[in-house]
Structure 1
Amino acid sequence: MEKFMKYIEEKMMPPMARLAEQRHLRAIRDGIISTISLIIIGCFFLVVVNLPIPAWKEFITPYIGDIMIPFRVTVSLMALYASYGMGYSLSRSYDLDGVSGGVLSMAAFLMTNIPLNVTDKAGTALGWMLPMNYLGGSGMFVAILTMIFAVEILRLCKEKNITIKMPEQVPASVARSFEALIPGGLIIIILWIIRVMLKFDINAFIMKLFSPLVNVAGNTFLGVFLPVLLICLLWVSGVHGVSVIGSLLRPIWLVLLDQNMAAVAAGDIATNIGTEGFFDLFVWIGGSGGTLALCVLFLFSKSSYLKQVGKFSIIPGLFNINEPIIFGAPIVLNPILGIPFVVGPLINTVTTYVAMSLGWVKKVSVMAPWTLPSPVKAFLATNDWRAAVLTIINFCISLAVFYPFFKIYEAKLIQEETQGAVEE
């Protein structure tokens, strides 16, 4: 195990650490995270509509259309909001104007969606309207690509001095708008030619291109097993595993969640297993590695140090914040605790995948606040009481996996503490 840990530390850790800080991946991560509050708010209305109470469903049916409007202008537009956030973040990383970068990214994304002149059944003209098919999670891939395209054009024009310079007396906000005029024109014209004149549907092409990858991540065992393995190994090596792997896979997870939410909103059953909620709710109980179990064990430790770590990490752990115990125990570069930190989540991945694939537990169709305790969060995210039971079962599994390694580590620390006391 020590040789394996040394290999990860020396060979894998440096490139993964650099990957986590790569400016484009960081911008994607920050931009998508900026939409989380809106997604959670929108999901609340989806929960209200789908409460598993027959009398409530009968009462609320006539009002579902009105109640779902906040859901449609938040979750159903998540890619649109993310395009601005990602563009802002990437522009700032280049020391460009963040607002201009965000606006141009959003405009570039909208250019891939053609407005339609709509009439109702009676033939009354309703005017030009923008289809929402690809403005939510389904359009996240295109939002990322158009964001990179727009900001790189902005950066290139800035570097080559292809901008309109205004006198110093002009207010800074006005000057920034004119500086973005030429790059904005290039972005709009290029995308107009591609989407309108050449009639190339970028969204449909990207969805077709990535559909095999989405299917693998959504409903196959390897699609959920490999991310858990990689995230845990990176954490043990000292790299924030979710930041690295999540930056790569979160767009796919959002597409899968969007499909589940759309199915539930239409009265159907969610079908995708591998959403981000699969990991957050059932695998990372207490945070990456399922460390809430270790917090509980530390509370009853005979080692004074581990007992103190347990006391200051248990409350954050209940709300899925586990940095205190990861770096306090520590788990990072610790072969003894590193083994259960990897093995426990892999077992929980198997139990959860089996339960969902056999229909024992509903798939995740709501993005619940990640800081909620796992059983509560699991019920809200699936509308299924059995999901809360599954989190308790997985917690017990983590407890059993951590226990023997905890006792080994505890004995080691007790010996060190006793020896230290004798020397003093």
Structure 2
Amino acid sequence: MSFVDFLEKKLSGPMAKISEQRHLRAIRDGVISALPFIIVGSFFLILAFPPVPKDWAIALWAKKHIFEILIPYRLTMFIMTLYISFGLGYNLAKSYKLDPLSGGQLSVAALLLTITPQLVKGQFMLPMTNLGGHGLFVAMLVSIVSVEILRFCKTKRITIKMPEQVPSSVSRSFEALIPVAIVILLMSLVTVVFGVDLHHVVEQVVSPFVKAGDSIFGVLVPVILIVFFWSFGIHGDSVVGPVARPLWEVYLAKNAEVAATGSQNLPYTAPETFFQWFIWIGGSGATLGLVLAMIFFSRSKYLKAVGRTGVIPGIFNINEPIVFGAPIVLNPLLIIPFVITPIVTTILSYVATTTGLVSATYIMPPWTLPAPIGAYLATGGDWRAVVLVVINIAISFVIYFPFFKIYDHKMAKMEQSEQADSGTTLSM
């Protein structure tokens, strides 16, 4: 058995199962469900700090009304964990064929019960900090526990069963009474009676991972894994994303919080937006350079056709037509630059960001924007981000080109041979 066959048969199955593991899938879907709020909320940061000279009218207006402008941000992206918690609980309950609404509501209640209200001037105030990226890991933990309690009660019939004549919506509410009581009592014991700050405890546990994930090594690992899995037809983002995305969301939220204060000294280099706009230009493997090579330098009719077909999706960061059409999957010649290109652009982009040559990202534009526009918006209007994107596209082209030429020559020769065979057959 060849190495490629071994990877395809022995690795593909287990990795596909990991990407579809119930809890990881619920985390992934929960984060994705909150993306509209994160994306729209982050744009209010641009409005609060417009990328124009400070003496322009819009900049002066924004400075005067910054408190009001940031209210939508603080009630959407700033408390993203609240939305993610509901989405996580909803999707996990749905995967168990439980009432998804009960799962989502239980998860939100459990998250809120990890936060102790503060008495300020005779009124109770709920601190919002732990509803942002800071509380994401706790939200994942308590949401999963809450839904598992709901499942346990349902499986063991520890519920209040209503007569069949009762409307289903009312029946579901009463079925959730005992699980809700258990979750509320459990979280109240932890937070109120024993005084345990789950957020502080979890922060201490995951702190080494958070720090390591923003290092050059921590940035390269997910990049290499994603393109490695894609090389064998496994959706790399689906395998790596559920594990890495919670970290990326924490980085993005923290950067946004600092940016909302007006500071440019953002703490993290590598939120998901760093990968999206500087590394995955044209899709996983940074294939836009390959597409350009196919269009302008291909002698093979097939590859030129694939390039023309893939250029528009590639501009909008969709590269399945190239990955499966060229193909790159299980193609020894194109796998090499497919892996090397993102490694090179990751190192360059990481150095450029950490040294201050390019601003760190803190806004999440829609991922289907062309990379130069997305990078400009993600960095709050840094024109140098556009330059870095152009440089990375050029690097992608240069790395892919020699491998593409070898493959193109092979494909063109094959087409000529087939054409000659076809002509001989017709003459006979």
TM surpasses 0.5: yes
* 1:262 counterpart (257, 265, 274): 257
1:18 equivalent in structure 2: 17
2:184 equivalent in structure 1: 188
Give the residue type in structure 1 aligned to 2:136: M
C-alpha separation in 2, matches of 1:4 and 1:387: 39
C-alpha separation in 2, matches of 1:63 and 1:130: 24
2:72 equivalent in structure 1: 70
* 2:108 counterpart (101, 106, 109): 106
1:171 equivalent in structure 2: 167
1:130-141 aligned at under 5 Å gives the runs 130-141=126-137
Q: Indicate conservation of the 8 Å contact 1:289/1:342, yes or no.
A: yes
Structure 1 runs not aligned, ≥5 long: 120-124
C-alpha separation in 1, matches of 2:290 and 2:98: 45
C-alpha separation in 2, matches of 1:357 and 1:184: 46
Q: Indicate conservation of the 8 Å contact 1:232/1:241, yes or no.
A: yes
Aligned: 1:341 with 2:338: yes
Q: Percent identity?
A: 49
* Mean CA deviation greater in 101-110 or 299-308: 299-308
SS of residue matched to 1:35 = helix
Q: Indicate conservation of the 8 Å contact 1:142/1:203, yes or no.
A: yes
* 2:402 counterpart (387, 401, 404): 404
Q: Indicate conservation of the 8 Å contact 2:118/2:124, yes or no.
A: yes
Structure 2 runs not aligned, ≥5 long: 423-428
Please report how far the alpha carbon of residue 12 of structure 1 lies from its aligned counterpart in structure 2 after TM superposition: 2.8
C-alpha separation in 2, matches of 1:263 and 1:354: 21
Please report how far the alpha carbon of residue 7 of structure 1 lies from its aligned counterpart in structure 2 after TM superposition: 4.2
In the superposition, relative to structure 1, how do residues 273 and 4 fare at CA in structure 2: closer, same or farther (>3 Å)? farther
In the superposition, relative to structure 1, how do residues 135 and 294 fare at CA in structure 2: closer, same or farther (>3 Å)? same
1:227 equivalent in structure 2: 222
1:4-83 aligned at under 5 Å gives the runs 4-52=3-51, 53-55=53-55, 56-83=58-85
Per-residue displacement from partner, 1:348-368 (whole Å, max 9, x unpaired)?
011001111111111111111
C-alpha separation in 2, matches of 1:176 and 1:328: 48
Give the residue type in structure 2 aligned to 1:361: V
Q: Indicate conservation of the 8 Å contact 2:47/2:62, yes or no.
A: no
Aligned: 1:253 with 2:248: yes
SS of residue matched to 1:272 = coil
Aligned: 1:286 with 2:288: no
Tell me the matched-pair count.
416
SS of residue matched to 1:386 = helix
* 1:413 counterpart (387, 411, 414): 411
C-alpha separation in 2, matches of 1:150 and 1:192: 13
* Mean CA deviation greater in 247-256 or 303-312: 303-312
2:352 equivalent in structure 1: 355
1:423 equivalent in structure 2: 421
Q: Indicate conservation of the 8 Å contact 1:5/1:335, yes or no.
A: no
C-alpha separation in 2, matches of 1:337 and 1:240: 17
C-alpha separation in 2, matches of 1:231 and 1:74: 29
Please report how far the alpha carbon of residue 3 of structure 1 lies from its aligned counterpart in structure 2 after TM superposition: 5.1
Give the residue type in structure 1 aligned to 2:320: E
* 1:304 counterpart (294, 301, 304): 301
* Mean CA deviation greater in 294-303 or 338-347: 294-303
Give the residue type in structure 1 aligned to 2:78: S
Please report how far the alpha carbon of residue 14 of structure 1 lies from its aligned counterpart in structure 2 after TM superposition: 2.2
Per-residue displacement from partner, 1:278-299 (whole Å, max 9, x unpaired)?
1101010011100111122222
SS of residue matched to 1:422 = helix
Please report how far the alpha carbon of residue 59 of structure 1 lies from its aligned counterpart in structure 2 after TM superposition: 3.2
SS of residue matched to 2:131 = coil
Q: Structure 1 length as normaliser, TM-score?
A: 0.96
C-alpha separation in 2, matches of 1:189 and 1:5: 53
Aligned: 1:371 with 2:368: yes
Per-residue displacement from partner, 1:107-144 (whole Å, max 9, x unpaired)?
1111111122222xxxxx4x222110110111110111
Q: Indicate conservation of the 8 Å contact 1:164/1:178, yes or no.
A: yes
SS of residue matched to 2:65 = helix
SS of residue matched to 1:361 = coil
2:205 equivalent in structure 1: 209
SS of residue matched to 2:130 = coil
Q: Indicate conservation of the 8 Å contact 1:223/1:274, yes or no.
A: no
Please report how far the alpha carbon of residue 169 of structure 1 lies from its aligned counterpart in structure 2 after TM superposition: 0.9
Aligned-residue RMSD, C-alpha: 1.3
Q: Structure 2 length as normaliser, TM-score?
A: 0.95
1:118 equivalent in structure 2: 120
SS of residue matched to 1:128 = strand
Runs of 4+ in 1 over 4 A off after TM superposition: none
C-alpha separation in 1, matches of 2:35 and 2:159: 35
C-alpha separation in 1, matches of 2:113 and 2:321: 45
SS of residue matched to 1:134 = helix
